[in-house]
Amino acid sequence: MTTELYCKESVTGAAEIRSATLKDDCEFVVVADHQDGCPGVDIDKYMGWLEDNQWCIGIIYVVFGPIIALFGQQLFPIVCAALVAIFILGLVVSISLAFGWMVSTTGTIVVLVVGLLLGVIAGALIKRHIWLMVSLLGLIGGFFLGALVFSMIAAASGWSAVWGWWVINIAMAIIGAITAYKLGSPVVLLGTSFIGSYLFMRAWTLFFPGHYPSESEIMSNPEELELDSIFWVFVGVFAFCFLTSACVQSKRAVVHEDLDKYSSA
């Protein structure tokens, strides 16, 4: 039997049969209308593929991480706006994955659209206020530092309470924002070196998965976290990259004029 399915979005239950004919006295051909016949993108399929091929995200991190770490002060407005947009999108997606809001195609689309809109709006708005850019950069750097600190605590002690992840991250984010607002350029130097190095390190954790916990894993399955010695290798890579990039930026001493004016004010 051959079935020819045509698009009709209003039909979601049993298909509406247009015709059923016998072809060549040996094969039935059924023509029907149903929502499944409508063209569309299988988000679940692509999200599943992305989850199984996280190296794609790793390539983005490994390319842009060093740029942020080595040229953060020089490209400050662009780097900061992009980081804020990506940070908000990533945070929305991580929270949504942890709470199961992306298990369906509709949920995934809504989450991605909302996260993207919030990220773009935030990135565009902060470019108008240099003090806000500096503060948010410190906030993002502090948040990433909190995530790293929590991961190190979990690896060393086995303690991985979700509330602890939030408390440490939020506390470090607030400290980072206040410090950046007050000190300006020095914190931007350290913050961009830190964030870029962190992204570069996380790229390798995606190339070699299973040794470093993702944010969604921490929030959804903290009791199943198992960190081995390779985790500390990643931490060592991060520390080396952070110190190196901070020294490079400090010696180059190339600061964007907006950031220089803010620091001089």
Q: Between these two residues, 101 and 166, which has the higher pLDDT value?
A: 166
Judged by average pLDDT, the poorest of 45-54, 68-77, 250-259 is 45-54
pLDDT at position 64 is 87
**Number of separate domains in the chain:** 2
With respect to residue 222, please indicate whether it lies within any of the assigned structural domains: yes
Confidence band, pLDDT 50/70/90 cuts, at residue 245: very high
With respect to residue 25, please indicate whether it lies within any of the assigned structural domains: yes
Judge whether 142 and 173 are in contact, CB under 8 Å: yes
Question: Could you tell me if 67 and 193 lie in one domain?
Answer: yes
Question: Could you tell me if 149 and 255 lie in one domain?
Answer: yes
Q: Between these two residues, 169 and 89, which has the higher pLDDT value?
A: 169
Question: Could you tell me if 23 and 133 lie in one domain?
Answer: no
Question: Could you tell me if 248 and 231 lie in one domain?
Answer: yes
Question: Could you tell me if 19 and 57 lie in one domain?
Answer: no
Which range in 22-26, 28-32, 44-48 is most confidently predicted, on average pLDDT? 28-32
pLDDT at position 43 is 45
- In this predicted structure, the answer to whether residue 59 has a pLDDT above a threshold of 80 is yes
Question: Could you tell me if 6 and 78 lie in one domain?
Answer: no
Question: Could you tell me if 61 and 24 lie in one domain?
Answer: no
Closest CA to 191 of 234, 232, 135: 135
13 is in which domain, residue-wise? 2-37
Q: How, if at all, do strands 2-7 and 27-34 pair?
A: parallel
Strand (E) or helix (H) holding 23: strand 16-23
Task: Give a three-class secondary structure readout of 41-99.
Answer: CCHHHHHHHHHHCCHHHHHHHHHHHHHHHHHCCCCHHHHHHHHHHHHHHHHHHHHHHHC
Question: Could you tell me if 213 and 197 lie in one domain?
Answer: yes
pLDDT at position 1 is 63
Q: Between these two residues, 223 and 90, which has the higher pLDDT value?
A: 90
Confidence band, pLDDT 50/70/90 cuts, at residue 243: very high
- CA distances from residue 174 to 115, 127, 170 in whole angstroms, order as listed: 22, 20, 6
Give the span between the Cα atoms of 242 and 239, in whole angstroms.
5
Question: Could you tell me if 69 and 10 lie in one domain?
Answer: no
Question: Could you tell me if 32 and 50 lie in one domain?
Answer: no
Q: Between these two residues, 183 and 1, which has the higher pLDDT value?
A: 183
Question: Could you tell me if 144 and 29 lie in one domain?
Answer: no
With respect to residue 158, please indicate whether it lies within any of the assigned structural domains: yes
Question: Could you tell me if 247 and 178 lie in one domain?
Answer: yes
With respect to residue 8, please indicate whether it lies within any of the assigned structural domains: yes
With respect to residue 109, please indicate whether it lies within any of the assigned structural domains: no
Give 117-161 pLDDT, tens digit per residue: 887 787 777 767 778 888 888 888 898 899 888 888 877 777 777
With respect to residue 59, please indicate whether it lies within any of the assigned structural domains: yes
